[in-house]
Amino acid sequence: MVWTEKSTVSLRQEFVWLASQEGANKRELCRRFGISPKTGYKWLGRFEAASGDVQSLHDRSRRPLNSPGRSDEATEQAVLAVRCKHPAWGGRKIARRLADLGKAEVAASTVNHILRRHGLISDAASDAARPWQRFEHDAPNSLWQIDFKGHFPTQAGRYQALTLLDDHSRFNLCLHALTRTNTSTVRQHLIQVFERYGLPLRINADNGSPWGTPKASGNSLSDLAIWLIRQGVRVSFSAPHHPQTNGKLERFHRTLDVEVLAPGKFADLAAVQRAFDAWRPKYNCHRPHEALDLGTPVQRYQPSQLAYSEVLRPIEYPDTDCVVTVKWNGFTTFQGRRLHVSSSLQGLPIGIRPSGEVDGVYDVYFCHQCFAQFDLREPLVDT
């Protein structure tokens, strides 16, 4: 795979940020990004020689790496320039960004005063600003949060966006506009993510399609969940009507609304995707994140050491499990009872083992994941 023209610079930027992390396997990253080690080290060398200036990642034939006019601007003009590029940013983010760029050392309160003088912050906006504090996992790839950004209109129709976020770093792993949200479409995009970033330990989603099976009783598994489990990934689901379980992703959607979808109207799906491709590296690599002490997501993210394979892992259970095969329409038989698990598991073996807490209660496993319980103390019901 070669880098496409529309996203060349953003991909180079993402590559050098990840390759600069302590302990990064640079050759493995080159493989995942589809470039030769020679090319990877070339861009890494340019980036380091330019002290992290993103302009060094443009082709030599493009515009100059430095902009003398901008570097000589006064602090107030520098603040307004950043605000113009990022209309949703407040004082703390702008101050941090200017410091990171080496353009100015200015307090957040000073930035806010400048913005207010120019009518760029209203009293209502100040009152609406509120901090978000959430639990986070202690390492990258321990948990990813996945969901769709709800329907948004364009002149050609309404679409959704597939979004995927690393819980620890808030690094956005996937941002893709979709016409379809079925299992096949989502799987293809997940494969692309897995090939580049590796596998997480766990993915959390809501109970809607294609992640879960909201119309099924109990903890039934969907085709997509079964595929993820076969990859060695644990799958968890948010409780119904509790979107805060994926709170970081919900917050990401708010930012996406304000900084990308709200400012203008789009002609079609391609226009939306171009906007996504332009904004994603800004979010991951430049936009200071208050929950990260004004760091950026890429500074805390590292690709997973668990590599993706097209070959699914074997289905194995301990010798102490009672292994049965799921039959037509998701039913199986255990201790003389006909019990329903999941129609998506038809033809596949599951493991049943005592829960260890109450006699007559059994945990039901598919591969490594416990997804249901049988309580044989309940009265037998004819089916």
Residues 150 and 211 in one domain: yes
Residues 103 and 165 in one domain: no
Q: Name the amino acid, one letter, at 115.
A: L
Do residues 224 and 188 lie in contact, with contact meaning Cβ atoms separated by under 8 Å?
no
Distance of CA 14 to CAs 42, 54, 202, 263, 341, Å? 14, 10, 23, 25, 42
Q: How do residues 218-256 score in pLDDT, each as one tens digit? A: 467 999 999 999 999 999 988 665 555 568 899 999 999
Q: How do residues 245-290 score in pLDDT, each as one tens digit? A: 568 899 999 999 999 997 668 999 999 999 999 999 999 999 888 8
Q: How do residues 325-361 score in pLDDT, each as one tens digit? A: 999 888 999 998 898 888 999 999 999 999 876 788 9
Within a domain: residue 316?
A: no
What does R_g of the chain's alpha carbons equal in angstroms?
24
C-alpha closest to that of 231 among 193, 176, 178, 177 = 193
Q: Does pLDDT of 69 surpass 50?
A: no
**Strands (DSSP E) along the chain, which ranges?**
144-154, 157-166, 172-178, 202-205, 234-237, 322-325, 331-334, 337-340, 349-354, 361-366, 369-375
Give the whole-angstrom CA distance, residue 17 versus residue 4: 19
Within a domain: residue 314?
A: no
Within a domain: residue 16?
A: yes
Q: Does pLDDT of 81 surpass 80?
A: yes
User: What is the model's pLDDT at position 41?
Assistant: 92
Q: Does pLDDT of 322 surpass 90?
A: yes
User: What is the model's pLDDT at position 201?
Assistant: 93
User: What is the model's pLDDT at position 67?
Assistant: 42
Residues 358 and 226 in one domain: no
Residues 350 and 284 in one domain: no
Residues 288 and 368 in one domain: no
User: What is the model's pLDDT at position 211?
Assistant: 85
CATH of residue 229's domain is 3.30.420.10
Residue 78: pLDDT band with limits 50, 70, 90: confident
Domain that holds residue 101: 68-128
Residues 49 and 92 in one domain: no
User: What is the model's pLDDT at position 54?
Assistant: 79
Mean per-residue pLDDT over the chain, rounded: 83
Residues 40 and 74 in one domain: no
User: What is the model's pLDDT at position 101?
Assistant: 82
Domain count, the chain: 4
Report strand pairing: 234-237 vs 337-340. Answer: unpaired
User: What is the model's pLDDT at position 135?
Assistant: 52
Residues 333 and 290 in one domain: no
Residues 163 and 269 in one domain: yes
Instruction: Report how far Cα 370 is from the mean position of its chain's Cα atoms.
Output: 24
Within a domain: residue 287?
A: yes
Residues 113 and 180 in one domain: no
Within a domain: residue 138?
A: no
Within a domain: residue 20?
A: yes
Residues 181 and 275 in one domain: yes
Among 269, 300, 331, where does a domain finish?
300
Q: Does pLDDT of 307 surpass 90?
A: yes
User: What is the model's pLDDT at position 121?
Assistant: 66
For range 27-38, the mean pLDDT = 90
User: What is the model's pLDDT at position 130?
Assistant: 43
User: What is the model's pLDDT at position 280?
Assistant: 95
Looking at the whole model, is its pTM more than 0.85? no
Q: Which of 36-40, 125-129, 352-356 has the lowest average pLDDT?
A: 125-129
Distance of CA 271 to CAs 2, 65, 118, 153, 190, Å? 22, 27, 31, 12, 22
Within a domain: residue 308?
A: no
- Other C-beta atoms closer than 10 Å to the C-beta of 296 total 23
Residues 89 and 219 in one domain: no
Q: How do residues 175-197 score in pLDDT, each as one tens digit? A: 999 999 999 999 999 999 999 99
User: What is the model's pLDDT at position 216?
Assistant: 54
Within a domain: residue 273?
A: yes
